[in-house]
Amino acid sequence: MTLRRGELLAAAQQGDKGACEVLLSENDKLIWSIVKRYAGRGAETEDLFQLGCIGFLKAVQSFDPAYGTQFSTYAVPKIAGEIRRFLRDDGAIKVSRGLKEQAFQLRGAREQLANQLNREPTLSELSAHTGLSPEEIAAADTASSAVTSLQSETAEGLTLESLLGDQGIEGAIVESVSLRQAVQELEERERMVILLRYFRGFTQDRTAKVIGVSQVQVSRIERRAVEHLRKKLE
């Protein structure tokens, strides 16, 4: 960070509107680069740009040089987060009523079976109990999961970001909506493995027991799913 940038940030944090305007002007391209990743999702790009500016200014106010990171790096998730929040709250990311009802049914079934079995129910047990197919269970689980990010960790501390790498998928790293959509496009077993491993943080062993396959198979499915995700997010 240059001295001038540091002085501008300090002035903006003190309430200097002129400094805020200069910072916004200098980072206009950064904000637009993130806005473009959310285009075509039911909102005007100009509205998204204004939201991006709000996120940027929030980053200005909360940034501390002691974080040991560049301001632009710190600002990106703040900008993206403001846009994502609007899209989520505004209903641009829609989950059908049917999926919501199935997700509600699954939560109750999981809790009931877990109490009966004293363990996590397997996919086949859930299917038999609810009458839902494995495909319907995977779809409902993925669609109803909280929006997540590539930094979500498994029980072993692995993240999708570390597996996918960051070359060519900068937007995906900050755009968790795209990640969830990409996961929904995976085939059933791949989707369930990614859901359990990275959305819920299960170990491979626990995932294998839920799905009803061996741990070796889970490892293979996971590798294949990660490769498919990499291609979808590039």
Question: How far is it, in rounded angstroms, from Cα 155 to Cα 92?
Answer: 32
Q: ∠87-89-93 over CA atoms, to 5°?
A: 50
Q: What is the pLDDT of residue 162?
A: 58
- Name residue, tokens 């200097």: 16
- pLDDT reading at 221 higher than 90: yes
Q: Give the relative orientation of helices 176-184 and 215-233 as an angle to the nearest 10 degrees.
A: 120
CATH architecture, domain defined by 3-89: Up-down Bundle (1.20)
**Are 211 and 123 contacting, i.e. CB atoms less than 8 angstroms apart?**
yes
Banded model confidence at residue 220, pLDDT cuts 50, 70, 90: very high
- Name residue, tokens 């703040």: 78
Q: What is the pLDDT of residue 3?
A: 40
Residues 6+ apart with CB under 8 A from 151: 159, 161, 173
Residue of 37 and 152 predicted with greater confidence: 37
Average pLDDT, the chain: 77
CATH 1.20.140 domain range(s) in the chain: 97-233
The per-residue pLDDT for range 71-124, each reduced to its tens digit, is 888 888 888 888 887 776 554 445 567 777 788 788 888 888 888 888 888 888
Residues 6+ apart with CB under 8 A from 176: 84, 147, 148, 149, 150
Q: What is the pLDDT of residue 173?
A: 37
Task: Give, for 58, the enclosing helix (H) or strand (E).
Answer: helix 45-62
The per-residue pLDDT for range 31-67, each reduced to its tens digit, is 999 998 888 776 778 888 888 898 898 888 888 877 6
Specify which residues 153 forms β-bridges with.
159
What 3-state DSSP class applies to 78? helix
Amino acid found at 31:
I
Q: What is the pLDDT of residue 105?
A: 84
Closest CA to 88 of 150, 26, 43: 43
pTM for the structure as a whole: 0.44
Closest CA to 60 of 48, 45, 70, 75: 75
CATH 1.20.120.1810 domain range(s) in the chain: 3-89
Q: What is the pLDDT of residue 175?
A: 46
Question: How far is it, in rounded angstroms, from Cα 173 to Cα 119?
Answer: 33
Amino acid found at 133:
S
What are the φ/ψ torsions at residue 71 (nearest 5 degrees)?
Answer: -60, -45
Q: What is the pLDDT of residue 122?
A: 84
Q: What is the pLDDT of residue 157?
A: 59
Q: What is the pLDDT of residue 171?
A: 43
Residue of 6 and 24 predicted with greater confidence: 24
Banded model confidence at residue 167, pLDDT cuts 50, 70, 90: very low
Q: Which CATH number fits domain 97-233: 2.40.128, 1.10.357, 1.10.3470, 1.20.140?
A: 1.20.140
